[in-house]
A and B are shown apart, each in its own frame.
Chain A
Amino acid sequence: MSRTLIALLFTSVAAPALAADSNLKNLDVDLSKVTRENFYEVVVPAAKKEGTVTMYNFAGSFGDVWKELIGRFETKYGIKVAYNDVNLDQANQQLIAVHQAGQDAPVDAFFAGGGSFPLLSSTGVLGNVPLTKILPNFDHYDPALAENVFGRAHGGAFPLVHLNQTAIGYDSAFVKADEVPKSFDDLIVWAEKHPKQLGITLPAKGGSGSGFIYSLALNTLTGECRAKLTDTSQTLEQAEEWAMSTDCLTPVWDYYRRLMKSAELTNGNADTLNLINNQKLHMGTVWEDQVMTFIRGKQLPDSFRLTLLEKGQVGSGDAFIVAADAKHPAAAMLLIDLAMSKEFQAWKLENKASRSPRTDLNSSQINPETAQYLLPDAVYPRLSTSVFWDMAKALGEALDEKVLSN
């Protein structure tokens, strides 16, 4: 009784603030009145009235995951889902352009890269909904992610629905167990011993590359330099400026200069994997979840394995958000809610080895046949560190200017 009272009190206090904050221009529902408890009651009718929902997916390897979700969603609610694969950066720019022109967004529910938060929120295209607080299926959501993402407060509007991890992947048929590098120093030594067999993704062309350069910087920089590196209050422009001009990064550039003499720069996350599959490379920078997709699609050998380097490599996640200018915001919320349901998250974990931000699911539920392709427990989650994507992007651009173009 007292708990509901407090809850009521809380919502009534928070309501004006939420109402003022909400930027969902096409939402018929008064968000301030929506709680986890009455969510379905209020939102389902609104969503059915909208009748359809458009979703964007930025991750090429996630197509079949969303197919599964859409199937469940359409069966459950009878609301049609229009699905599009998109290019992340381009879709972001599209939302911004449409928003600035004062038009409706072409998308309602957007599965977006975890690094997009600063851009999407600062430009006002992110639907300002406390999803993690009002969607019923977020009741077991990791509290660390519920209000913050990569050091920024999002108030629940930018929930990660999938966690992923950058890693070093190798073909164990060619790399012996005792040769597997354990640190960045090991890595360069291995690369020099096996010239042109290590693939480093170009940061501008893939997150496994920008994750790698950020991890390297985290491992190399200390003191004030490191503080700057992890200061998530900086904007992308500030990060770019710093990365272009600072001397802090000299050791990083030196590392890359040395590495580039013996390693291969690849054209993207998939290119790295493809070359490993072609046995042209035996080791490379990868995303854990993409590796899984490629193994399932027989685009990687069964002997492929993953590891993390000391003192850590960045982990990330991708968010499912409502666009501020969404035409069908209620249906979008409903779709996101279903994406976080325990059943679906469990399916995703089992079938795609996609890690979940739900606290009641963990990797032990993955079947052992699949688990061998994932990061071993010895390194994960111990060596997973947080990322500041705008800084990672800035480092990638600076790398282009400082090392690659010379």
Chain B
Amino acid sequence: MSAIAAPVPLGEKRIRFTEEDRPLIAFGLFTALGLTVLLPLALMFLWSVADGWSPPNIVPAAYTGERWAAVLSNSDILNAGLTSLFVSVVVTLATAVIALPTAWAMARIPFRAKRLVEIFILAPMIIPGLVVAVGIGRLFLSLGLAYSISGVILVQIVGTLPLMIRLMTATLEGIPQELIHAARSLGAGTFGVLIHIILPLCVPGLLAGGLLSFVASFEEFDKTFIVGAPAVQTLPVRLYMYLDPYSMQLPMASVVAFLLLVPALIIFVIAGRVLRDDLMAAGMGKM
């Protein structure tokens, strides 16, 4: 698997055909990126510090730090942030723990109904999460999980589990059987093989799956809103309250959006370092 991680060897082809295009391509791509990604983020920041911003002003006429001060001194939003973090961490860990044995079975043990099981595991990626969220209400009520953090965690795992199982299955499939035989011949027991061989080799997959699960959970709105709100307030739920067409408040929404973005972007930067594109693509791209 790692062999593909290396980019296609940079042949002279590129040099040959793109010599003159290069600055143009770079300029075009970075301009597009700036306009579509960085500009909106910058505008969002301006909104969060704007003290009124009406046409025809292209930049706000006056600025204020009041909203940031208000939000940062407001325990509700900070609590929502903590809830979000807590939920995401638990979801990520639980997803990994639940996914591993199943992924092992899917990767390593041949059995007859495998195709069927595989499709079933994929199903939550296919069925819109909203359907699950509205359907789970009665079950949760009877279990006493409705409108609780546990309920939100449980329903979010439905969304993160399929991807994690897929990623781990792909990773485990990539461990050569010889390695396990070799370890056994060198005296490692089942547990030793697990600890010394399998888990270390799973790390890239676990990291990829973990990061994706974390981001997915951290930004999850639809299901959390239906299952948990208003008792459980995560940052996306808070953000929705400020974006809600009933009572939209762009400045406050922008502040909360930034609070929501910061951890997501930190994760993203980490992900950029430890994640390999192919692994992400393998988990998400192959159906």
Q: Do chains A and B touch in the complex (CB under 8 A)?
A: yes
Please list the residues of chain A having a beta carbon within 8 angstroms of any beta carbon in chain B: 56, 59-61, 83-87, 90-91, 94, 97-98, 100-101, 103, 106-107, 205-206, 267-271, 274, 277-279, 290, 297-299, 301
Question: Which residues of A are found within 8 Å of B52, using beta-carbon distances?
Answer: 298-299
The 6 closest A-B pairs by CB, nearest first: A60-B247, A268-B245, A298-B52, A270-B248, A86-B230, A101-B141
Contact check, B55 vs A278: say whether CB atoms are below 8 A apart. yes
Question: Which residues of A are found within 8 Å of B204, using beta-carbon distances?
Answer: none
Known: A85-B241, A278-B54. Is A297-B230 also a contact (CB below 8 A)? no
Question: Which residues of B are found within 8 Å of A106, using beta-carbon distances?
Answer: 147, 230-231
Question: Which residues of A are found within 8 Å of B241, using beta-carbon distances?
Answer: 60, 85-87
Q: Provide the bound-state CA to CA distance between A380 and B137, in Å.
A: 45
Contact check, A87 vs B245: say whether CB atoms are below 8 A apart. no
Q: Provide the bound-state CA to CA distance between A278 and B57, in Å.
A: 10
Q: Provide the bound-state CA to CA distance between A345 and B32, in Å.
A: 53
Q: Provide the bound-state CA to CA distance between A297 and B233, in Å.
A: 24
**Is B118 interfacial (CB-CB < 8 Å)?**
no
Q: Provide the bound-state CA to CA distance between A141 and B141, in Å.
A: 39
Contact check, B147 vs A94: say whether CB atoms are below 8 A apart. yes
Please list the residues of chain B having a beta carbon within 8 angstroms of any beta carbon in chain A: 51-56, 76, 137, 141-142, 144, 146-147, 225-226, 229-231, 233, 238, 241-242, 244-251
Question: Which residues of A are found within 8 Å of B53, using beta-carbon distances?
Answer: 298
**Contact among A56, A85, A97, A206 for B137, CB-based, below 8 A:** A97
Contact check, A83 vs B51: say whether CB atoms are below 8 A apart. no
Q: Provide the bound-state CA to CA distance between A270 and B251, in Å.
A: 13
Residue among B226, B230, B246 facing the most chain A CB atoms (10 A cut-off): B246
Q: Provide the bound-state CA to CA distance between A83 and B141, in Å.
A: 23
Contact check, A274 vs B250: say whether CB atoms are below 8 A apart. yes
Question: Which residues of B are found within 8 Å of A205, using beta-carbon distances?
Answer: 245-246
Question: Which residues of B are found within 8 Å of A206, using beta-carbon distances?
Answer: 245-246
Known: A56-B230, A84-B233, A301-B54. Is A268-B142 also a contact (CB below 8 A)? no
Contact check, A103 vs B242: say whether CB atoms are below 8 A apart. no
Closest Cβ of chain A: how far from B83's Cβ, in Å?
12
From A280, which residue of chain B is reached at the shortest CB distance?
B55
Contact check, B248 vs A268: say whether CB atoms are below 8 A apart. yes
Closest Cβ of chain A: how far from B278's Cβ, in Å?
41
Contact check, B55 vs A97: say whether CB atoms are below 8 A apart. no
Known: A87-B230, A91-B230, A97-B137. Is A60-B54 also a contact (CB below 8 A)? no
Known: A101-B141, A278-B54, A279-B54. Is A60-B146 also a contact (CB below 8 A)? no
Closest Cβ of chain B: how far from A302's Cβ, in Å?
10
From B64, which residue of chain A is reached at the shortest CB distance?
A298
Question: Which residues of B are found within 8 Å of A297, using beta-carbon distances?
Answer: 249, 251
Q: Provide the bound-state CA to CA distance between A106 and B148, in Å.
A: 9
Offer 25 A-B interface pairs, CB within 8 angstroms, sorted by A. A56-B230, A60-B249, A61-B247, A84-B233, A85-B230, A85-B238, A86-B241, A87-B229, A87-B230, A87-B246, A90-B225, A97-B137, A98-B141, A103-B146, A106-B147, A107-B231, A268-B244, A268-B246, A269-B245, A269-B247, A270-B246, A279-B55, A279-B56, A290-B247, A299-B250
Q: Provide the bound-state CA to CA distance between A278 and B53, in Å.
A: 9
**Contact among B54, B76, B229 for A86, CB-based, below 8 A:** B229
From B240, which residue of chain A is reached at the shortest CB distance?
A87
From A67, which residue of chain B is reached at the shortest CB distance?
B74
Closest Cβ of chain A: how far from B48's Cβ, in Å?
13
Contact check, B51 vs A270: say whether CB atoms are below 8 A apart. no
Residue among A59, A87, A97, A206 facing the most chain B CB atoms (10 A cut-off): A87
Given contacts A107-B230, A299-B250, 19 further A-B contacts (CB under 8 A): A60-B249, A85-B241, A86-B241, A87-B241, A90-B225, A90-B230, A97-B146, A101-B142, A205-B246, A269-B246, A269-B247, A270-B248, A271-B245, A274-B248, A278-B54, A278-B55, A279-B56, A290-B247, A297-B251
Contact check, A270 vs B249: say whether CB atoms are below 8 A apart. yes
Question: Which residues of A are found within 8 Å of B248, using beta-carbon distances?
Answer: 60, 268, 270-271, 274
Q: Provide the bound-state CA to CA distance between A278 and B248, in Å.
A: 14
